[in-house]
Amino acid sequence: MKQNGQIIQLLAGYYDVLANGRVIRTRARGNFRSKGLAPVVGDFVDFKKEDELGYITAVHERKNNLVRPPLANIDQAVVVTAVKEPDFSTNLLDRQLVALEEKNIRALIYFSKTDLLTESEYTKFNKTVQYYESMGYQVFFENKEFTQSEIDDLKKLFKNKLTIFMGQTGAGKSTLLNHIDVNLNLQTGEVSQALNRGKHTTRKVSLLPINDGLVADTPGFSTYSIFEMQIEDLKEYFMDFVKVAPNCRFRECLHLNEPGCAVKLGVEDGTILESRYQNYLQFIELIKAQKPEYKQKGYQKKDRRKKK
């Protein structure tokens, strides 16, 4: 009899599927490989149970997916961002936010290691926090890490959602998850002082049931190497640009060399962060540089109409 459920773990060629509160171990039928389709964690699937093992017969259409980490049907992402050790990077944070906006995944920003800031550094950094809040992002930023009130507020957002934790290696994703659920006991690692880079400690992608939702702990990363959009679409994923773009002289302004650009004016008068604009320019160059790769792999232009 056909059943359906959601893949919560991939391990050694087996897919663990959550169905009606039970976890069923399954394998994918051989014809998936011939179709070039590989089920990933987060996929909703149909399967048939034969003895103790089930077999996936169909993968439902995905509302979104990420390549790194390989996950599908994500509702929101907690972007864990260190303010120190490793040093805070607006470039890395903006890369992650753009990638999430392009996939229509809600971003929550959690600033970690805030206890390493001096009082004056905390006050200064709070201006950056307020700027990201002004764009509509929900931000977690307290001068003491892992307060119970902050953890409780974050857990409330998990209900009926698939939440992914992502961020720079060494930023403290697994540590944060251990504070959210002490029973997880996820492996953590310290940051190498010499290289200012973290050691990879998370070995697999699994969906963990927390507070009536599913939460993914994912491998750390330090950068996004690919932007899956055209140059003219990039501006749609900078929420501060979107707010002022209607004031640009030209409707299709790319905020580069056009006269009467409201975004460039905002940078000049300080209402738009200079770092945001510089990152935007750098991302454009990255997209230009990877265009041949897109063409070779058959990437297609995306529909710019976002679903909200």
Mean pLDDT value of segment 130-138: 96
Cβ of 196: how many Cβ atoms within 10 Å? 11
Per the annotation, binding residues for Zn(2+) are 248, 253, 255, 261
Q: Is the pLDDT of residue 178 over 60?
A: yes
Binding-site residues from annotation: 112-115, 167-175, 248, 253, 255, 261
CB atoms within 10 A of CB 268: 12
Is 297's pLDDT higher than 50?
no
More confident residue, 147 or 291: 147
Would you state the pLDDT for residue 185?
61
Summarize pLDDT for 96-130 with one digit per residue, the tens.
Answer: 999 899 999 999 999 999 999 999 999 999 999 99
Look at 296 and 246; give whichever has higher pLDDT: 246
Smallest Cα–Cα separation from 162: which of 113, 200, 206?
Answer: 206
202: pLDDT strictly greater than 70? no
For the chain, domains (ranges, CATH) are 2-59 (2.40.50.140), 65-217 (3.40.50.300), 231-297 (1.10.40.50)
- 53 beta partners: 50
What secondary structure does DSSP assign to 17-67, as a single string?
A: EEETTEEEEEEE-THHHHTT----BT-EEEEEEETTEEEEEEEPPPS-EET
pLDDT at 65: 87
Q: What pLDDT was estimated at residue 38? A: 87
- Residue at token pair 């890369």: 95
Position 200 scores a pLDDT of: 40
Whole-structure pTM value: 0.82
What is the mean predicted confidence (pLDDT) over 270-287?
A: 96
pLDDT tens, 30-80?
A: 777 677 788 999 999 999 988 788 999 999 999 998 877 788 999 999 999
Which segments are annotated as binding site for GTP?
A: 112-115, 167-175
pLDDT band for position 146 (cuts 50, 70, 90): confident
Q: Give the pLDDT confidence score for residue 51 in this predicted structure.
A: 78
Measure the CA–CA gap between 308 and 105, rounded to whole angstroms.
10
- Using the structure block, give the residue that is written with the tokens 């972007």: 79
